[in-house]
Amino acid sequence: MDFFLDTKEKVWKIKDLIIPVIEDVPMKDLMWFRNATKEIHKKQESGKLTQTEALEFDDEWWEKTCEIGLGKSKDEIIDTGISEREFRNLMAEVFHFLTTFGNVEEAMRSGLYDPEIQKKRQEDFKITQN
């Protein structure tokens, strides 16, 4: 998997769009994810969640991830020409960054963004694909 976060330049690279990383997002903003997820799970467990509501939640979750994590709207990201697979990977990466790391220095301490580990992963991927 290719990553969108460039830890050296402290930017998200999405096609031709370069977005400065928003670091140390206030907890108040992050609480939206917890509260919204809790509500949707309650509806699901009670059997009252419709497919339309689930899809609307997805759209809202993506919009909030773009807004809070990238400072852009979902449409601005989609307008880059990003594929659906890439968009889903980006949303997962941004969300993981927000909730696990919070800033580039913390991300760089993880194995996820370690250049040597990434290089090894790509080599391993090439071996398994042949």
Q: pLDDT tens-digit profile of 76-99? A: 999 999 999 999 999 999 999 999
**CA quadruple 85, 82, 111, 115: dihedral sign:** positive
For residue 115, the enclosing domain spans 5-129
pTM: 0.84
Return the pLDDT at 114. 77
Into how many domains does the chain fold? 1
Dist CA 45 CA 30 (whole Å):
23
pLDDT single digits (tens) 62-80: 999 999 999 999 999 999 9
pLDDT, greater one: 129 or 15: 15
Let me know: does 69 contact 22? Beta carbons within 8 Å. Answer: yes
